[in-house]
Structure 1
């Protein structure tokens, strides 16, 4: 049974076909395109459940595609494909609201697993309704809503899950490796820099209300500032 349509944006036909094949085997519908303009048109036309997006594209690159999607209030999950040495581009992509990334060369099975992890987060928690409060910040898991005082704060799915995980255990210090496993669903070798970038994004959106504290040499905790 089909599990939704995934848009694959990749200008190398062999890679696009490999990704299409593995996603199709896993039950996804797949449509492919090879440039940024076509990608934006396909997102609007086809309403995919997720986008697998190469950063290096002809014309409009992947980061600009992601930026335009988020500017249009389109929060479709985005998983970037990047070259191993493109750390700056990866970080920029995450800052623009991408949910995860896979570096080339990659295992197609890992890509499918990462995509499924992103979609599980997008589908929301399966546990009972929870409301977490730390200081002026409230996280409502059922409504997928974050407020800072009286103001609503718009977070990506990954940012939301990261904040909720920290606020569910206020004062508990989590290592970056623990956060990768709990929120992203994969092992530490994937790169703890991802955690730092997402924490920075959550802090920027919450401003002075942010309850996230850095514990040097350890990781992060959510707690009211003394």
Structure 2
């Protein structure tokens, strides 16, 4: 995923740029409205089919041209990139105005970085569309059919609830990737869930009991204090 970050506060911009790059994302940055508009327009001209999706993170209050005007201009020009608008203003009218101008999502400052990532990932999935979404995921001998939401391990059907399937799908979408509890909570339960709840740990235990218990090769791994990942066991040398 490519990110175009348009934010005039250097402290916020530096923090976001470092965090996004640490997640393996490509980041381009602009500090003024006109500079940001030109950056997005240039990226739209150069983007070819099949390239990683580009998401615009757009501050509302910018020098030279505000975020609403940038958003409206891009949509009038047919630029299809998803736009996540940032604002320090929490008034409903401001959020509605941004969405009506063509923004795809809205995030009020201050926000948690994990929430920003979850929203970016959701926008990225939406931009890629169902056509590029693989119908099957496989890690080791676990196979998940996304169309029927049916999971098997070594050919044996796993009796999973809808929430357990959603959790398994998230972990299988990036084998070996470490997912923090906050990221799992945002992606599977929604952004309004109480971050202090232990529901993630409960469901990880339930999922582990159904796919790993009694097997020689457990796939779900816990990184204490960091999160969880699912990956195939290393081949014996």
For the aligned pair, the TM-score class normalised by the smaller chain equals: 0.5 to 0.7
How far did residue 84 of structure 1 move? Answer: 4.2
| Aligned counterparts of 1:90 and 1:30: Cα–Cα separation in 2 | 25
Q: 2:100 aligns with which of 85, 95, 100?
A: 95
Question: Paired residue for 1:60?
Answer: 65
Alignment of structure 1 residues 76-91 onto 2, 5 Å: 76-91=81-96
| Aligned counterparts of 2:10 and 2:110: Cα–Cα separation in 1 | 15
| Aligned counterparts of 2:93 and 2:64: Cα–Cα separation in 1 | 19
Q: 2:124 aligns with which of 119, 131, 141?
A: 119
RMSD: 2.5
Q: 2:111 aligns with which of 90, 94, 106?
A: 106
How far did residue 89 of structure 1 move? Answer: 1.8
How far did residue 113 of structure 1 move? Answer: 1.3
User: Does the residue aligned with 2:64 lie in a helix, a strand or coil?
Assistant: coil
Verify the 8 A CA contact 1:36 1:65 in the aligned structure 2. Answer: yes
How far did residue 185 of structure 1 move? Answer: 7.8
Question: Paired residue for 1:186?
Answer: 190
1:138-158 CA distances to partner (integer Å, 9 max, x unpaired)?
A: xxxxxxxxxxxxxxxxxxxxx
Verify the 8 A CA contact 2:85 2:105 in the aligned structure 1. Answer: yes
How far did residue 187 of structure 1 move? Answer: 3.6
Any unmatched runs of 5+ in structure 1?
A: 129-180, 190-226
Verify the 8 A CA contact 1:18 1:108 in the aligned structure 2. Answer: no
Verify the 8 A CA contact 2:3 2:26 in the aligned structure 1. Answer: yes
How far did residue 97 of structure 1 move? Answer: 1.4
Any unmatched runs of 5+ in structure 2?
A: 45-52, 136-185, 194-237
Verify the 8 A CA contact 1:63 1:89 in the aligned structure 2. Answer: no
User: Does the residue aligned with 2:4 lie in a helix, a strand or coil?
Assistant: strand
> TM-score under structure 2 normalisation?
0.52
User: Does the residue aligned with 1:101 lie in a helix, a strand or coil?
Assistant: strand
| Aligned counterparts of 2:19 and 2:72: Cα–Cα separation in 1 | 27
1:10-46 CA distances to partner (integer Å, 9 max, x unpaired)?
A: 0100101111111111111101111110011101223
- Pick closer, same or farther for the CA change 1:127–1:27 going to 2, 3 Å: closer
- Pick closer, same or farther for the CA change 1:185–1:97 going to 2, 3 Å: farther
Matched, 1:21 2:18: yes
Question: Paired residue for 1:40?
Answer: 37
| Aligned counterparts of 2:105 and 2:189: Cα–Cα separation in 1 | 11
**How many equivalent pairs are there?**
134
| Aligned counterparts of 1:95 and 1:32: Cα–Cα separation in 2 | 25
Verify the 8 A CA contact 1:55 1:89 in the aligned structure 2. Answer: no
| Aligned counterparts of 2:71 and 2:21: Cα–Cα separation in 1 | 24
| Aligned counterparts of 1:95 and 1:127: Cα–Cα separation in 2 | 32
| Aligned counterparts of 1:54 and 1:188: Cα–Cα separation in 2 | 22
